[in-house]
Amino acid sequence: MVKSDSRFEDWRCPHYGTSCNWRVHAYQNARSTHWKITKYFGPHTCVSSSLTQDHLKLDSDVIASHIVSMVTEKPDVFITQIIERMRSIF
């Protein structure tokens, strides 16, 4: 997060401005408890070569792009096989 206050947040990729232009701007209306995304520059395709243990960038889009062929060939693939594949890649 780059900027924030009680009603506004500006999120950017750590590589923003050099190799990635992903960012999200959101605000919370004073009359609501919900946040509204006002600007979205994505999808976020940047994958750091040194992912953290929690894999903050390992989202569903990244996982799907790496397992689509497995699931297409064998729809009843075991989750353990998917996890093993992702561990071998990352």
Domains of the chain by residue range: 1-46, 50-90
Single-letter code of the amino acid located at 88: S
Task: Tell me the pLDDT tens digit for each residue of 14-43.
Answer: 888 888 888 999 988 888 888 888 888 887
- Provide, for the chain, the percentages of residues in helix, strand and coil under a 3-state DSSP scheme, each rounded to the nearest 5: 30, 25, 50
Task: Tell me the pLDDT tens digit for each residue of 41-65.
Answer: 887 877 654 444 555 667 777 888 8
* 88 vs 70: CA distance, rounded Å: 14
Q: What is the pTM of this model?
A: 0.44
